[in-house]
Amino acid sequence: MSKPYPQSPRGDHVDVYQNAAGQEVRVPDPYRWLEDPDSPETRRWVEAQNAVTEDFLAALPARAAYRERLTALWDYPRDGLPWERGGRYFRTFNPGLLNQPVLQTADSPRGPWHELLDPNALSADGTVALMGASVSQDGTQLAYATQSGGSDWLTWQVRDVASGEDTGEPLRWSKFSGAAWLPDGSGFFYSAYDAPGEGEALTGANKNQRLMFHRLGTPQDADELVLERPDQPDWGFAAEVTEDGAWLAVQVWLGTSPKNLLWVRPLGKEGPGSGDFQPLVNDFQAMYQLVGSDGNTLFLQTDEDAPLGKLMAWNIRTGERRDLLPEGADKLEQVLTVPGGFLALTLHDASHRLTLYDRNGERQREIELPALGTVSVSAEQDSSEVFVAFTSFLVPSRPYRLKLPGGELEPLADPALDFDAATYEVTQEFAMSKDGTRVPMFIVARKDAPRDGSNRTLLYGYGGFSISLTPAFSASRLAWLERGGVFVQANLRGGGEYGEAWHEAGTLGRKQNVFDDFAACAEHLARQGWTRPERLAIQGGSNGGLLVGASITQRPELFGAAVAQVGVLDMLRYHLFTIGWAWASDYGRSDDPEMFATLHAYSPLHNLKEGTRYPATLITTGDHDDRVVPAHSYKFAAELQRVQAGSAPTLIRIQTRAGHGAGKPTALVIEEAADIWAFLEEVLGG
């Protein structure tokens, strides 16, 4: 491809940093002007880049074929995992191609289901999405949160379940928040920020979160302030109410670190309580998650002195603590309290196991799952009615009712899919990383796929923030498989697949391990004959976009193509925008002289070099992304287009009225997926 790229003027801005030796380091930032998403110059640049990208994609014959097939693959019923409150059942449901799933309610988990909330009616283009739903204990009131245009900002409203009508006024400027109801349904706790100033909603830093209590029937300006810490502007608050209504428990979080504080205080009979919180945990030493309670005893999932996780009982009044489920050989993901025991969800080599224990921690039985895959569970405390959703790479998510104490799974739906899964298989292989670490990966391919290096292969990864990549269904990837592609999902350090030690091994000064793991997976795939570099593409989003950017700047010869989606690509300035500061627990910050050199050494934007042949690259972002601001992608695209020595295309696809990805309408998801697959098929060869 020749270079018909739009002009990206380079300014003379220079930032000055300090390294660990106390020396000043000058770092040019010629595209600083692209950090303003609303300036006329940036808007013209976005339009021009989109025009070039559209011209390229429109000429690809595979694009129309992918759009048609993806539309057919997406058109199947998707039953969400049910949950129960007050004898009513709730779920999300999409019959096929709705832009947003509908929230439904029923008197039985088998239906008939009735519409409670249709987000598709809230906007003409499907860009208003339901992002949170919490039902009062008696099942009569729904607190729900919507986002618009992909923004992380939430607006909470209350809907009467019986009538389906909204009550009261919207609650605005909430972010990173759920809703925790008082037992009597008179109100709920939620978290909010001050309204941003003019022009700051998309880029301004999110600081000083407050925990609020909203009483039904009152305006937002009458909401009661429950907790704030202006002396700790980076702290955030997540509230939970124990099932018996006796205690308000607050997890105090600091950025994206899994370590949190845990504070409690008694709840009043008619309100959110008063007085000081009792600090059960008052330093950021480990993760503590409320599982349930029994009077003054809380059941807490934690990784305190147990990197793979354990369950403990903690008596609030006496301070007595004891382990109920000690640390085992696999990572403890989630625990539910069930009659007479606990249901534990664990990860073994990045796929789930489900095991029933009694209250003394004795193993009763393992629940037989349909295959190697991913499990979600839902149940009220001590309920014998547990709902389970199972999915895998070739199996759409399917809801079940788990019968206790026997452990049988009763299917609640059987989604029909226009795809012959029997032709394909999922295998797991392990690469050896640079330092000898064993790195797992799942490989999805036709059973008769050759091992001669000829397969067009996509390697996907993330590697950060203790997030585990487990076998998950994607209708989009089926189209890639059908046209001869191989899909590979790597489980890199920095994720949560093997507990907190695995996570920490990919953070801060150890972040290079993540990139080394990914390169090792690429080399393994070539050695084993799955593919070869010119037939191998890599993909990742957000922190995974950083992974892709670092991989092509460090090892461009390993890959034939790259797709970096909503990536963190400027590691020197990421912390200055919206919630970026919260990622420092994984990354560190450039204003810390001890971390500057590490960040500068792998920051994708700062490691592009003139005269280098980089793989064909497609960068995607949303102009309303207020999590990873689009300036990351804009600046990286501009510089990559400038320095690319080969003929491989460097394109950026900028979705308008879109954000980081959550809540994106089905129509836009299909369009983006078709463009990505068509691009990869073109640049990797048929």
Q: What is the DSSP letter of 270?
A: S
Regarding beta strands 114-117 and 102-106, do their DSSP bridges make them parallel or antiparallel, or are they unpaired?
A: antiparallel
Q: Whole-angstrom distance between the N-terminal and C-terminal Cα of the chain?
A: 17
Instruction: With cut-offs at 50, 70 and 90, classify the pLDDT of residue 656.
Output: confident
Query: Is the pLDDT at 558 greater than 90, yes or no?
Result: yes
Preceding peptide of 405 cis, ω within 30°? yes
Assign 435 to helix, strand or coil: coil
Structure tokens belonging to residue 529? 């004959």
Average pLDDT over every residue of 83-87: 96
Query: Is the pLDDT at 321 greater than 60, yes or no?
Result: yes
Residue ranges per domain, the chain?
Answer: 14-71+418-684, 77-172+181-194, 330-416
pLDDT of residue 270: 66
pLDDT of residue 201: 77
Average pLDDT, the chain: 95
The DSSP secondary structure of 4-62, one letter per residue, reads: -PPP------EEEEE-TTS-EEEEE-TTGGGG-TTSHHHHHHHHHHHHHHHHHHHT-HH
b/e for 306-332, b at 16 or more Cβ within 10 A?
Answer: bbbbbbbbbebeeeeeeebbebbebbb
Query: Is the pLDDT at 3 greater than 60, yes or no?
Result: no
Indicate if 542 belongs to the active site.
yes
| Closest to 180 in 3D by CA, of 109, 280, 85, 316 | 85
Distances (CA, A) of 379 to 89, 143, 190, 392: 11, 19, 22, 22
Q: Is residue 62 a contact partner of residue 677, using CB atoms and an 8 Å limit?
A: yes
The DSSP secondary structure of 87-106, one letter per residue, reads: TEEEEEEE-SS-SSPEEEEE
From the list 134, 136, 542, 585, the catalytic residue is 542
Phi-psi region of 446 (alpha: psi -120 to 50; beta: other; left: phi over 0): beta
Residue 205 contacts by C-beta under 8 Å, 6 or more apart in sequence? 576, 577, 578, 579, 580, 581
Other residues' Cβ atoms within 10 Å of the Cβ of residue 166 = 14
Burial class (CB in 10 A: 0-12, 13-18, 19+), 401: middle
Query: For the chain, give me the number of helices (H) and strands (E)?
Result: 10, 39
Place of tokens 């799974």: 409
Distance CA 349, CA 469 (A): 10
Which is more confident, 610 or 201? 610
Could you read off the pLDDT of 203-218 as tens digits, one per residue?
788 999 999 999 999 9
Indicate if 660 belongs to the active site.
yes
Distance CA 686, CA 680 (A): 9
pLDDT of residue 505: 98
Could you read off the pLDDT of 450-472 as tens digits, one per residue?
999 999 999 999 999 999 999 99
Preceding peptide of 183 cis, ω within 30°? no
Instruction: With cut-offs at 50, 70 and 90, classify the pLDDT of residue 569.
Output: very high
Instruction: With cut-offs at 50, 70 and 90, classify the pLDDT of residue 117.
Output: very high
Query: Is the pLDDT at 417 greater than 80, yes or no?
Result: yes
Distance CA 4, CA 248 (A): 59
pLDDT of residue 336: 97
Could you read off the pLDDT of 280-303 as tens digits, one per residue?
999 999 999 999 999 999 999 999
Other residues' Cβ atoms within 10 Å of the Cβ of residue 237 = 23
* Helix boundaries (H) for 260-386: none
Query: Is the pLDDT at 98 greater than 60, yes or no?
Result: yes
Assign 221 to helix, strand or coil: helix
Helices 593-602, 543-554: axis angle to 10 degrees equals 70
Helices 666-684, 40-58: axis angle to 10 degrees equals 60
pLDDT of residue 660: 59
Structure tokens belonging to residue 641? 């287009």
What is the side-by-side strand order in the sheet with 456-460? Answer: 424-432, 438-446, 485-490, 456-460, 536-541, 561-565, 616-622, 650-655
User: Considering the chain, what percentage of its residues have pLDDT values greater than 70?
Assistant: 98
User: Considering the chain, what percentage of its residues have pLDDT values greater than 90?
Assistant: 90
* Helix boundaries (H) for 421-511: 475-482, 500-504
Distance CA 370, CA 100 (A): 28
Q: What is the DSSP letter of 661?
A: S
Torsion of CA 618, 620, 623, 626, to 10 degrees: -140
pLDDT of residue 4: 87
Query: Is the pLDDT at 257 greater than 70, yes or no?
Result: yes
Q: Is residue 560 a contact partner of residue 616, using CB atoms and an 8 Å limit?
A: yes
Average pLDDT over every residue of 405-431: 94
Could you read off the pLDDT of 493-505 as tens digits, one per residue?
999 999 999 999 9
Structure tokens belonging to residue 409? 């799974």
Instruction: With cut-offs at 50, 70 and 90, classify the pLDDT of residue 662.
Output: low
Q: Is residue 494 a contact partner of residue 413, using CB atoms and an 8 Å limit?
A: no
Q: Is residue 139 a contact partner of residue 162, using CB atoms and an 8 Å limit?
A: no
Distance CA 128, CA 141 (A): 21
CATH level 2 (architecture), domain 14-71+418-684: 3-Layer(aba) Sandwich (3.40)
| Closest to 419 in 3D by CA, of 74, 81, 61, 672 | 74
| Closest to 396 in 3D by CA, of 477, 469, 473 | 473
Instruction: With cut-offs at 50, 70 and 90, classify the pLDDT of residue 395.
Output: very high
pLDDT of residue 59: 96
Find how far residue 349's CA is from the centre of its chain.
20
